[in-house]
Amino acid sequence: MDSQKSISTLLLLFALPLCSYASESKENWLMTYSFSNGVELPDLFLEMTLKNNQISGVAKDRAQDLASITGSVSKQNYQFTIHRFEMGGDPSQDIIYHGTRIGNQISGKWKHAVGVDGQWSASLTTLTAKEAQR
């Protein structure tokens, strides 16, 4: 009986870290961004899934899917790449984003694969892409 209890305890101890490690959450963000000279670009809607510190998702303009999102998150630091679907496997138009999350806001810098850069910020939202980008 004691050996069964010990085995059950060990199984529980091994299972708990696996359960917490496999946590998944979905986040929707409305992002604004601009070039380093201040010229603003159209808003993007980001549908992100965070699982095991990895980011995946889709960037949208209204309800139209424009690009894939891949990256990582560590504590409040987000780093991800937006890759336009029309580019296929070519990374020459990728945009890399680095940002820090404070509450329901993220802000940081972005850099295009060709060297152009700027600032960005995003707000967490419960709206759909179409509702958020009116």
pLDDT of residue 132: 86
The confidence score (pLDDT) of residue 80 equals 98
Give me the residues of the chain with pLDDT under 70, please: 1-22
pLDDT at position 11, please? 40
Alpha helices in the chain (DSSP H): 2-21, 129-132
Residue 25 confidence (pLDDT): 95
Q: Please measure the distance between the N-terminal and C-terminal CA atoms of the chain and give it in whole angstroms.
A: 64
- Read off the pTM: 0.80
For position 15, what pLDDT does the model report? 43
Q: Domain 24-132, what architecture?
A: Beta Barrel (2.40)
The predicted pLDDT at position 16 comes to: 42
Closest by Cα among 97, 53, 87, 38 to 67: 87
